[in-house]
Chain A
Amino acid sequence: MEVPQKGGFSFDLCRRNEMLVSKGLRSPSFLKTGTTIVGLIFQDGVILGADTRATEGPIVADKNCEKIHYMAPNIYCCGAGTAADTEAVTDMVSSQLKLHRYHTGRESRVVTALTLLKSHLFSYQGYVSAALVLGGVDVTGPHLHTIYPHGSTDTLPYATMGSGSLAAMAIFESKYREGMSRDEGIKLVAEAILSGVFNDLGSGSNVDICVITKGNTEYLRNHLSPNPRTYPQKGYTFSKKTEVLLTKITPLREIVPVIEGGDAMEE
């Protein structure tokens, strides 16, 4: 968007938009960019973190989705942007990496995943809307990269992406140190994601964490759940006209009873 020449808001395009709508143009639907994803390098490897909210415009479509995707036993990738795009591109590259492992007989390297992802995204000129934080530990050491939808990459000791990236980066910039221990690293990553969860409208629900070290990966699904579903303490209240049959809240039955030797279905 161009900055207006003189001070104040330029209403020129608003008049154009109204004119187009009056001629029958449907205004574009919302892009999903809601997410906070982060990664950092600590003493023994890499820690990735993500929130768990998936949005469709202003509606929360999934309150507990998984944004940390498996690429290889030693490589994981957080994805922000259009959910279909991040899923598809990480699945595709994960398959390519597996075939490559069979072909070479070696553990996958993070730069391999990086090159495969960036080439794919560049060839689609930014239309595959996937912004990724790729992290892993291979024979050459721990690596952390960010990948943008247009195909550019950065290599960083700590990184954030998504609509909550500014909130999370504020936490990282004030508290990150080189060579943190595992617990310190997890605490900082959780704090950064929480900053996105509570301050960014596009991020919310729980915190997922993935700790990757040489020879070992731990996926801490829902490491923190600071937004639990709550039920009213006193039960529900109704207006006087309502006929109340039952006020007890019973959980759904887990097991469906199977009737042995039932009749065959008949019309």
Chain B
Amino acid sequence: MYRLSLDVEQPHSMGTTIIGVTYNGGVVLGADSRTSTGMYVANRASDKITQLTDNVYVCRSGSAADSQVVSDYVRYFLHQHTIQLGQPATVKVAASLVRQLAYNNKAMLQTGMIVGGWDKYEGGKIYGVPLGGTLLEQPFAIGGSGSSYLYGFFDQAWREGMSQEEAEKLVVTAVSLAIARDGASGGVVRTVTINKDGVNRKFYPGDTLPLWHEEMDAVNSLLDIVPAASPEPMIS
């Protein structure tokens, strides 16, 4: 008797790298695109940066189902709130709603999120809502399994008051570094830039990303001149 046990039975999770940074005039959100079920990549081009309102987006990590449901609920509540308020919702309100759902259902949910956007009162803001439902306003936030490899990088590379180009370059570099080291992150890099002029989505396919030292093509390798190894085992 055998069992058809495969990793495809595991829940859909986004071992992930998600980033949000503020810059002079707005925010840049970034994420990888890998969704895995166990060891199988279920979606290699997923979009983890989800819209909540015209001016607020959220990066999702952890359980795919939990994060999708939370962002659907928050989008719905924010839509009602916008109608009642008569003007666009602030980033703080959006983040607060995400936190309330995450905190009140902490036993059942397994998702970490980064809420980022622009409003006319506070400008560009980033709020981290990790597992457990804390709400933390930060100049930059990182999350997901790949973020472990980025703490040192950000300590050294982050500066207050960057320009939009610098901030986008920082985000793309950081996500590609995490992709290089974290098996659960991969695919393409997606960024969303939000400022007073609106929202700009960008997409960076794998071949446009910088290579890191262990990934560079072999140059002057001995493999080019030495013939292929013989299949017979060596006998002394």
- Using CB atoms and an 8 Å cutoff, list the residues of chain A in contact with chain B: 30-31, 33-34, 57-58, 118, 122, 125-126, 131, 146, 148-154, 156, 161-163, 165-166, 201-202
Contact = CB atoms under 8 A, between A and B. Distances in A.
Interface string B1-20: 11110101101100000000
A190 to B, nearest CB: 22
B51 interface: no
Tell me whether chain B's interface is mostly helix, strand or loop, or mixed: mixed
Nearest to B44: A173
Contact of B4 (A34, A146, A148): A34
Contact of B42 (A31, A118, A151, A154): A154
Interface of B: 1-4, 6, 8-9, 11-12, 35, 37, 40, 42-43, 45-46, 63-65, 68-69, 108
Nearest to B68: A152
A148 B11 contact: yes
A202 to B, nearest CB: 5
B65 to A, nearest CB: 4
A152 B12 contact: yes
Contacts, number: 63
A-B complex: 9 closest residue pairs judged by Cβ atoms: A152-B64, A152-B65, A150-B65, A151-B65, A152-B12, A154-B43, A148-B12, A150-B11, A202-B4
Contacts of A156: 43, 45
A235 B4 CA distance: 36
A265 B216 CA distance: 89
Given A154-B43, A154-B46, A156-B43, A122 B4 contact: no
Given A150-B11, A154-B35, A154-B43, A30 B64 contact: no
Contact of A152 (B1, B4, B63): B63
Contact of A150 (B4, B8, B63): B63
Contacts of B69: 118, 122, 151
Contacts of B37: 148
Given A148-B11, A152-B65, A58 B2 contact: yes
Contacts of A154: 35, 42-43, 46
A125 B11 CA distance: 10
A151 B68 CA distance: 9
Nearest to A119: B69
Given A58-B2, A148-B37, A33 B8 contact: yes
Contact of A166 (B1, B11, B40): B40
Contacts of B2: 58
B65 A122 contact: yes
Given A31-B4, A148-B37, A148-B42, 17 more contacts: A30-B3, A33-B9, A118-B68, A122-B69, A125-B108, A126-B11, A146-B43, A148-B65, A152-B11, A152-B65, A152-B68, A156-B43, A156-B45, A161-B8, A166-B40, A201-B4, A202-B4
A165 B4 CA distance: 13
Contacts of B3: 30
Contacts of B9: 31, 33
Contacts of B45: 156
Nearest to B42: A154
Nearest to B43: A154
A162 B9 CA distance: 9
8 contacts: A118-B68, A122-B65, A146-B42, A148-B65, A151-B68, A163-B4, A163-B6, A201-B4
